[in-house]
Structure 1
Amino acid sequence: MRSILLASAMLCLPFTALAETREERIAVADEYVSLALQDFDMAALIATMWAPVIQQVEASGATVSPEQLEAIKALYMQTFEGPMTQLMKDQAPIMADLMTLGEITALRDFYATPEGRSVMKKLPQLTQAQQPGVMKLVNDQMTVLMPKVLEILNLGP
């Protein structure tokens, strides 16, 4: 009787859930990561980290020379390019734990298309375009938010 119930329960599961393994998901996720890194503009992503700093410095009235700007760009690239690339390479097991084989395959297949490759190239630009709004939103809310956080943590009024 137990074997009949177990067999019935197994039939209710999607066949893909029965067939796929974590190793299969990691293999396809590795393919996705390789495709993503081919066209990913790491310098543009890293620029989203240093550009707001420069904007803030210039907004305070200071002048940033072209030489200083190049030195800051180089510093950020030296500091973040290797680790950020490694973080991206390390995402395959995370994807395998969060997504189905079908989802990872669809991502891989999309990024293999001309449109997908174009999207990957534009993601840092999207991040950079949204960052000032996100920073403004966070900064505008911090004076109200922090006292509440401190109160919740029993550290404030």
Structure 2
Amino acid sequence: MKPFVLAIMLALPLPAMAETREDRVAAAAEYIELALDGFDMTAIIETMYQPILQQVAAGGQSLTDAQVAQIRQLYLDTFTEPMTTLMRDQAGIMADMMTLAEITALRDFYATPEGKSVMAKLPQLTAAQQPGMIALINDTMESLMPQVLGIINGEAPPAPTAQP
């Protein structure tokens, strides 16, 4: 009977608990470096100041090409290194949230031509979604904040207002 139990135990896949955090961190670090190789950080950062430029234009002020270039450089100088560091620091977070198999699958996907193409398109996806996200936040904050303040202050929150 003992050899039968041993054979069954050996046939079962090793549980995720057999993985070490160090294994997951190492795999996540590989994934992140692969992702960063195909990731256009400049394009992501450029999406960050576009709403400001749009607000300035909506206010009737025109910026020169030199002013836009200065704003662009300011954002690049301010955010490139810290955002890259944040992305690299996510290896530990990924290791705490995901299994080695999940991290490996992500890494392997981003190593494919399709994965590289997806990674290259993420800045455009972010840019395309940003106006809708900003509009959603702006449209809801006026009615949302009094409710949040009511909760914080221990008051009965005002009834939500109908959204258009």
TM-score of the pair, normalised by structure 1: 0.88
Structure 1 residue runs of 5 or longer lacking an equivalent are 1-9
In the alignment, is residue 67 of structure 1 matched against residue 66 of structure 2?
Answer: yes
Percent identical across equivalent pairs?
A: 63
Task: Give the alignment of 1:1-157 within 5 angstroms.
Answer: 15-154=14-153
Structure 2 residue runs of 5 or longer lacking an equivalent are 1-8, 159-164
Question: How big is the alpha-carbon RMSD for the aligned residues of Structure 1 and Structure 2?
Answer: 2.0
Cα deviation for residue 14 of structure 1 reads 5.6
Output the CA distance in 2 between the equivalents of 1:41 and 1:144: 36
Cα deviation for residue 89 of structure 1 reads 0.9
Larger helix proportion of the pair = 1
Output the CA distance in 2 between the equivalents of 1:27 and 1:149: 41
> What CA deviation, in whole Å up to 9, does each residue of 1:99-156 have, x standing for no partner?
0001000000000001101111111110110010010011011111011111111187
Amino acid at match of 2:138: N
Output the CA distance in 2 between the equivalents of 1:83 and 1:155: 38
Poorly superposed stretches of 4+, deviation over 6 Å: none
The total of aligned residue pairs comes to: 148
TM-score of the pair, normalised by structure 2: 0.85
Change (3 A) 1:46 1:155: farther
